[in-house]
Structure 1
Amino acid sequence: MSTVSDVLQNDAFEAHPERRLLTTSDGVRIDSVLRRGARTRTTAVVLANGFTGTWRSADTKMIAGRMLAVGDAMTFDFRGHHDSTGECTVGDREVHDLEAVVAHLRTLGYTDIATVGFSMGAAVVIRHAAMFGGVRAVASVSGPSRWYYRGTSRMRLLHFGLETQVGRFFLRHARRVRVVDRHWDPVPPDPTESAVGVAPAALLVMHGAADTYFPVEHARRMYEAAAEPKDLWVEQGMGHAEHAMTPERADRLAAWIGRRFAAAREGGADQG
């Protein structure tokens, strides 16, 4: 049986990025990139970045490359980020961005799709699975368990950026992120409330023990709220989101997704 590393040597670096502009159900244009492996297949992995993240980053490109071991990889920029239109709502309307990507993959013939989210994107993939379904596996990496968390200095600084005029000015001009200047109405269910709705898709909650944004208690709370099948990985020495992913961690994540794809094809519920 081929290992993830074997497949990467033979397949991942055959990928040819294809830029695609998608339209959400509420009319936002989403800038995305599809990376295909050398073989034609029906499995795909979607990566949903954290706040201010982009498919252009070296971290995201590395993770997408490792995902090619188990499926073609699609990355995209959430609304309000870089060349995607609209304004970022920091986890609310972004579920429609992800659904536009997943729906597009289905039109291309992909039948087994996994979603992987980082930080804000982690909250989005959980809410998306609960609202829309239709994915085989969901991985939440460095995600919050509830909204409005301010328990760390980094999250207090982030809220300053979101809630003040000067903070939004900085985000627009320094990070190319346009943030909505109004409060949620209504407030969407928090990730813990949504976690139970991920099933029957498998859920992986992956969190760094050294995360300086959200303590590990967020991961444990979300894992406890979710239904089976589910897994919890607390990674020693790991920081926050896509920037804390190493090739080795990405390979383990790809292998987990591969097992879930195989379990779905066999009609089983592999808990590995």
Structure 2
Amino acid sequence: MPIERITFPGHGGDQLAARLDLPDGPHLATALFAHCFTCSKDIPAARRIASRLAAMGIAVLRFDFTGLGHSEGEFANTHFSSNVADLEAAAAYLESRGMAPSLLIGHSLGGAAVLKAATRIASSKAVVTLGAPFEPEHVSHQFGDAVTEIDQQGQAEVSLAGRPFQITKAFLEDISAQNIAPCIRELNQALLVLHAPRDSTVGIENAARIFEAAKHPKSFVTLDDADHLISDPKDAEYAAEVISSWAGRYLQLRPPAPPPGAPEGIVRVAEADPNGFLQDVNAGPAHHALADEPLAYGGTNQGMTPYGFLSAGLGACTSMTIRMYARRKDWPLTHVWVDVSHDKVHARDAEAPAGQKVDTFSRTIHLQGDLSAEQRQRLLEIADRCPVHRTLEQSSLVRTTLAEPALAAAT
């Protein structure tokens, strides 16, 4: 997946650091991601969601708000209103590149910010919030006893997630003056609210109030046991899957016609977790699956194994071939399914002599319908004409090329 590291001017002219995750194939839409309070564009949940959307053909711009991460400026001089202005600046930057955002995603206070900014970003068609507060003032609960000191002294140092931040009285006054309820009611975009019932930072009641204030179309999906930062990879993966599926409904993604001579049928497999074995498997912009290894082999068991995909190919091709033949013959086949198992000792792969068959695919075919014994036998014979079956029985040639260094580095 190509990634551009860019900067653009924020609300006060400071250069904001950003990453633009681009699709490998056609660019169908653009999303703008706002991170949580005092976080950065690089938190795991943001990376995972950006990766999934890019696999769908949706480019994602995620940036650090003024004074955070790699962006310029002083955090002490920022507040909720400046975050909203930074979002507007990010949208304007994307529009200047011909990539006006149609999807806005905000995490925690970033979720409140996108709700506030949505009515000001004309290109937006859909909005997603993750663990967002209904009132921006909710964030002051994290300051504890320091609120009194901030009121009296004008500012105070507050420790958040183990890091010190200067919080000013102007910040408190800004968030206390915010009322995003009218913005939610005036949304002309579809809304997806994602929230974890056990979120101890921003309670689930916030999601209920956001959802109740919004008009249709709106959707709510629970993140179950996820924490506020959605730090568990499985929770981040689930959130990414939900957002990508939901967004496709409202953004009306239509891939452009491929350029002359463009190859068809490309399947791209890319690492989803460089610390494990999880892989994103994408067949064009419309079809996605996960590949993984079992826990016993160091994986996370979130998807089929490579041999599982191979077995699935054999089973699917067998079932389709049988159905095609029965349909042509007008035979009363009401249902067919194929059970496939693969037998191979992984540790012996590299030790097997060249040409020796070490794989066994056991295939059990189930046929339902008022079929005669002769018809059932004929369908069993037809199963062996399945193209994948024939490929597996014969030797295959795999041609491998190495991508140019510049292209490899960008993916």
Q: TM-score range by the shorter chain?
A: 0.7 to 0.9
- Identical aligned residues as a percent: 25
Displacement of 1:47: 1.4
**Residue deviations 1:2-39 (CA, integer Å, cap 9, x gap):** xxxxxxxxxxxxx2221111113432321111111112
Aligned residues: 244
AA aligned opposite 1:256: W
AA aligned opposite 1:202: A
Structure-2 separation of matches of 1:242 and 1:91: 22
Does the 8 Å contact 1:79/1:97 carry over to 2?
A: yes
2:32 maps to 1:23: no
2:202 maps to 1:214: yes
Q: CA 1:186 to 1:143, structure 2 compared with 1: closer, same or farther past 3 Å?
A: closer
Q: CA 1:23 to 1:212, structure 2 compared with 1: closer, same or farther past 3 Å?
A: same
Q: Who wins on radius of gyration, i.e. which is larger?
A: 2
Does the 8 Å contact 2:194/2:222 carry over to 1?
A: yes
2:141 maps to 1:141: no
Does the 8 Å contact 2:39/2:69 carry over to 1?
A: no
Equivalent in the alignment of 2:238: 248
AA aligned opposite 1:218: N
Q: CA 1:82 to 1:264, structure 2 compared with 1: closer, same or farther past 3 Å?
A: same
Displacement of 1:129: 0.5
Displacement of 1:180: 4.3
Structure-1 separation of matches of 2:86 and 2:230: 19
Structure-2 separation of matches of 1:125 and 1:242: 18
For 1:235, which of 223, 229, 252 is the aligned residue?
223
For 2:70, which of 83, 90, 103 is the aligned residue?
83
Structure-1 separation of matches of 2:6 and 2:146: 30
Q: Could you say what the CA RMSD is over the residues aligned between the two structures, in angstroms?
A: 2.9
**Matches of residues 154-165 of structure 1 in structure 2 within 5 Å?**
156-159=141-144, 164=150
> Residue 134 of structure 1 aligns to a residue in which SS?
coil
Q: CA 1:27 to 1:195, structure 2 compared with 1: closer, same or farther past 3 Å?
A: same
Structure-2 separation of matches of 1:231 and 1:175: 35
2:83 maps to 1:94: yes
AA aligned opposite 1:260: Y
Structure-1 separation of matches of 2:72 and 2:122: 25
Displacement of 1:181: 4.8
Q: Under a length normalisation based on structure 1, what TM-score does the superposition of the two structures give?
A: 0.78
Does the 8 Å contact 2:49/2:239 carry over to 1?
A: no
Displacement of 1:68: 1.1
> Residue 17 of structure 2 aligns to a residue in which SS?
strand
Structure-1 separation of matches of 2:64 and 2:7: 10
2:185 maps to 1:225: no
Greater Cα shift, 72-81 or 182-191: 182-191
Displacement of 1:184: 2.9
AA aligned opposite 1:101: A
**Residue deviations 1:212-243 (CA, integer Å, cap 9, x gap):** 01221111111111122211223322221443
Structure-1 separation of matches of 2:74 and 2:55: 34
Q: Under a length normalisation based on structure 2, what TM-score does the superposition of the two structures give?
A: 0.53
Structure-2 separation of matches of 1:259 and 1:23: 32
**Residue deviations 1:122-147 (CA, integer Å, cap 9, x gap):** 00100001233321111011011113
AA aligned opposite 2:68: H
2:164 maps to 1:190: no
AA aligned opposite 2:65: F
Structure-2 separation of matches of 1:179 and 1:110: 35
> Residue 116 of structure 1 aligns to a residue in which SS?
strand
> Residue 141 of structure 2 aligns to a residue in which SS?
helix
Structure 1 segments (4+ residues) deviating >6 Å? none
> Residue 80 of structure 2 aligns to a residue in which SS?
coil
Q: CA 1:171 to 1:236, structure 2 compared with 1: closer, same or farther past 3 Å?
A: closer
AA aligned opposite 1:144: P
**Residue deviations 1:19-64 (CA, integer Å, cap 9, x gap):** 1111134323211111111124141122111012112333322221
Q: CA 1:178 to 1:98, structure 2 compared with 1: closer, same or farther past 3 Å?
A: farther
Structure-2 separation of matches of 1:111 and 1:186: 28
Consecutive unaligned residues of structure 2, counting only runs of 5 or more, are 256-411
Equivalent in the alignment of 1:205: 193
Give the number of the structure with larger relative contact order, counting CA–CA contacts within 8 Å between residues 6 or more apart: 1
For 1:113, which of 102, 116, 119 is the aligned residue?
102
Equivalent in the alignment of 2:342: none
